């Protein structure tokens, strides 16, 4: 039987999330033994303190949700996440550069952020926002993520009007190969859909729903 909880980043990224909400998120993560909680950077320290010694990691989003900030700022966010006790980061690519065909800039952005994360011993997931990209763009970005040596390629932020699909997960896994894992995120609200995504190749799930 698939252990969905152990594959899930229990997520709360709403702008109106309060500290009380983060405390509740961490309690749920302990209750269900999720892989991590995924929060906005300002709540990393709170979550890290609450989850210390539990074996549950703390992930933070970087350049979120648009990806349109300076690479140097994304790198600085990684340093701050590390300093506050985070273990993983989920970084949004510069989607506008992808749509403009600025592939060298896209690659440099991803490479520098991946190098910064690994330099801090943080696991990094690269969010490509599949709902905004063409199939050719998805494939090209996947190849860049693979070359950059990221730990995961992630489908979606959940903020762009679209989320994970079985087809996208299958294709991404095919494109990145065995050395990069796939995280499916956005619109995962049922155990049945989560299992379909896992069957398609997802090895991590991001959801604000409790699927166990």
Helix (H, G, I), strand (E, B) or coil at 75: helix
| Residue 84 to residue 87: CA distance in whole angstroms | 9
- Percentages (nearest 5) of helix, strand, coil residues in the chain: 50, 15, 35
What are the structure tokens assigned to 85, written together? 């006790």
| Residue 1 to residue 200: CA distance in whole angstroms | 16
Q: How many CB atoms lie within 10 A of CB 79?
A: 14
> What sign does the dihedral 23-25-30-36 (CA atoms) show?
negative
What are the structure tokens assigned to 166, written together? 């079985």
What are the structure tokens assigned to 161, written together? 């009007």
CA nearest to 107, candidates 136, 134, 145: 145
Q: Please identify every residue annotated as catalytic.
A: 90, 154, 183
Torsion of CA 120, 109, 144, 57, to 10 degrees: 30
Q: How many CB atoms lie within 10 A of CB 182?
A: 28
């Amino acid at each position: 039987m698939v252990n969905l909880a152990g594959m899930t980043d229990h997520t709360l990224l709403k702008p109106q999330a309060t500290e009380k909400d983060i405390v509740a998120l961490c309690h749920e993560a302990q209750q269900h033994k999720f892989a991590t909680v995924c929060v906005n950077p300002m709540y990393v320290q709170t979550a890290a303190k609450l989850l210390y010694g539990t074996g549950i990691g703390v992930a933070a989003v970087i350049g979120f949700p648009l990806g349109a900030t300076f690479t140097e700022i994304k790198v600085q966010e990684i340093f701050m996440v590390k300093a506050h006790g985070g273990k993983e980061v989920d970084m949004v690519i510069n989607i506008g550069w992808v749509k403009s065909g600025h592939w060298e800039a896209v690659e440099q952005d991803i490479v520098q952020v991946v190098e910064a994360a690994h330099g801090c011993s943080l696991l990094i997931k690269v969010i490509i926002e599949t709902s905004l990209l063409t199939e050719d763009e998805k494939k090209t970005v996947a190849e860049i993520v693979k070359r950059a040596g990221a730990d995961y390629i992630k489908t979606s932020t959940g903020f762009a009007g679209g989320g994970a699909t079985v087809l996208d997960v299958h294709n991404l896994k095919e494109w990145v190969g065995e050395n990069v894992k796939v995280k499916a995120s956005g619109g995962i609200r049922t155990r049945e859909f989560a299992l379909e995504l896992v069957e398609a190749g997802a090895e991590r799930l991001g959801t604000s729903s409790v699927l166990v």
